[in-house]
Amino acid sequence: MIPGGREARPDHFSGEIVRGPAIAVLLVLAASAAAHEAPQVSDQFAPEIASSVRPRPLVRAKRWMAATANRNASEAAAAMLRAGGGAVDATIAAQFVLGLVEPQSSGLGGGGFLVLYDAAAKAVTTFDGRETAPMAATPDLFQDKKGEPLAFMEAALGGRAVGTPAAPRLMETVHRRFGKLPWPQLFEPAIQLAEKGFIVSPRLAAQIAADAPRLARDPTAAAYFLPGGIALKAGDRLKNPAYAETLKALRDGGASAFYRGPIAEDVVAAVRGARNPGQLSLEDLANYAVVERSPVCGGFRAYLICGMGPPSSGGIAVAQILGLLESSNIAGLGKDSPQAWRLIGDASRLAFADREAYVADPAFVPQPTAGLLAQDYLAGRAALLSGERALGSVAAGQPKQDRTQLFAPDPAIELPGTSHLSIVDADGNAVAFTTTIEASFGSKLMTRGFMLNSEMTDFSFRSQRGGAPVANRVEPGKRPRSSMAPTIVLKDGAPVFIVGSPGGSQIIGYVVKTLIAALDWGLDPAAAAALPNMLNRYGPFELEEGTAAETMAEPLRELGYGTRATALVSGVQAIAIGPEGILGGADPRREGVAVGE
């Protein structure tokens, strides 16, 4: 639900992106056209989906809002906003705190994607802070001597999986462009918490217990998380003086203090000296650069949905799914309708088929992004949804592209060691930032008070299939494909909804669910985040166990789907903006908190 906004109507429009260092988003409202309604079928199996996941309280504000995955991080963001800082300042301060209090999900040893709305320029731009493969990496990195893929944990634990960390350079890059407060001020909350100690949260304690045998492999991680061989418990006070010293070095020397000198040397030593050594070098660190990219935007009702383009598949997939549903009557069918979820599920399957065939680092693989989002292409794919039952099989489409090359599809594993924050400041600037170290605690390697990522496992372990190359194969200097989907929704050229989630390749479904819940079903951000998760990536429906989503199993099976009840631990942070104010909601499945004034 957008506060003060009119109810979403099935108006159609096209969006044009003006590309450049600051990318303006122009909304061109097309003539009103009646939307096609999905076939009207009996919803005899439609149960009332009253979530057993209790929504967090909705937070209301007038000037600014910050929603992050941890109260300490939200308070750090709020401190910057109260001090006159902007959304970028608040983002940076929150990220430094998240790396301390939520080390299983993000930090200095990882990276992320940041989508930003610049109110002064009325422009959306995005920053690619994705980790890169070491220059010594080869396509057979995750293969055995016979050319077969390694077992996942054989690849993920230790230095082999570590890509060049990106977070420090990303934070510095966006601060130089959009920061208002002095760089050193942004470090104060995290340094204070690291030196004085913070209370271990239940989620962190549970993650430490679950990963204890793997954390024990690295002496530094073991000493920190398993002191005396005993896993930290919820309620323990934990100090991290090594992290405080690293932050002080960054505060005083900028990102260069991380990418050159003693910190860089320790990072490389940790990677190369691990049990499963990696190939990261000092040159890889010294040469890392953030890339500013044009947003990927697609129309839905009266809105423009803008997100991150390749190497993330998130922006394309979210825009495709909503584009495929544009002519459907999802709003009329409602959140309790199996037919609504059939449409959402099969639209997602079509988007995932395209994702696995085409999306990769655009510096290495020509990306048919415009073709994948072209109205005629989406109309053709949407026609596949016109039946009343699940699609039997799903394959990638054939979008128009500048250069044609046949790539083999490959669904690389993507684990949910990720976090998200959404922030709006008093000047109308907005940030959606998804930050990650890939798996829980990344590679399980720790140095200088922070964890090192395992992002290399987001590449396909196979380099080819049937003689055709895999688009997302490992290559030197390449950025692995991601599903992170930080999203800013515009209406009449201004942001009205900011959202994102952790969750690996399930991120796309979490974000789509929240957007449809807010834009079509009229739910506020807290209720939209709490709505039971029902995802479909590859055919079977994943239904969130322990919630009313499980009651949809029989109706979905009647429509031709396999179903599986499983834990679907989204971490949505959502903000809605309207004439009457700002609404903030945090996903109750994790420890997120929205703060606003």
Across the range 505-531, mean pLDDT stands at 97
Q: Which domains, and CATH codes, for the chain?
A: 13-65+297-412+481-596 (3.60.20.40)
Nearest-angstrom CA–CA distance, 99 and 81? 20
- Sign of the C-alpha dihedral computed for residues 269, 275, 281 and 285 taken in this order: negative
* Residue of 246, 418, 436, 514 with catalytic role: 418
Nearest-angstrom CA–CA distance, 32 and 35? 9
What pLDDT is recorded for position 466?
Answer: 79
State which H helix or E strand residue 306 sits in: strand 303-307
Nearest-angstrom CA–CA distance, 344 and 354? 16
Question: Would you call 418 a catalytic residue per the annotation?
Answer: yes
C-alpha dihedral (438, 413, 529, 541), degrees to nearest 10: -170
Nearest-angstrom CA–CA distance, 352 and 263? 39
What pLDDT is recorded for position 463?
Answer: 86
Residue whose tokens read 């910190």: 263
Instruction: Of 595, 596, 597, 594, give the one whose Cα is nearest residue 55.
Output: 594
Q: pLDDT at residue 53 above 60?
A: yes
Q: pLDDT at residue 413 above 90?
A: no
Residue whose tokens read 């109507």: 9
Instruction: Retrieve residue 7's tokens.
Output: 């109810």
Beta 541-544 vs 534-536: how paired, if at all?
antiparallel
Least confident interval from 21-30, 145-154, 205-214, 375-384 = 21-30
The tens digit of pLDDT for each residue in 249-262 reads: 999 999 999 999 99
User: For 516-536, what is the HEC assignment?
Assistant: HHHHCCCCCHHHHHHCCCEEE
- How many of the other CB atoms lie within 10 Å of CB of 493? 14
Residue type for position 468: A
Nearest-angstrom CA–CA distance, 136 and 283? 11
Nearest-angstrom CA–CA distance, 586 and 441? 22
Query: What integer best gives the mean pLDDT of the chain?
Result: 90
The tens digit of pLDDT for each residue in 520-547 reads: 999 999 999 999 999 999 999 999 999 9
Q: pLDDT at residue 45 above 70?
A: no
**Cα within 13 Å of Cα(300), Cβ side:** 26
Residue type for position 41: V
Binding-site residues for L-glutamate sit at 130, 458, 482-483, 504
State which H helix or E strand residue 491 sits in: strand 487-491
Across the range 492-507, mean pLDDT stands at 97
Least confident interval from 430-444, 462-476, 558-572 = 462-476
The tens digit of pLDDT for each residue in 154-194 reads: 999 999 999 999 999 999 999 999 999 999 999 999 999 99
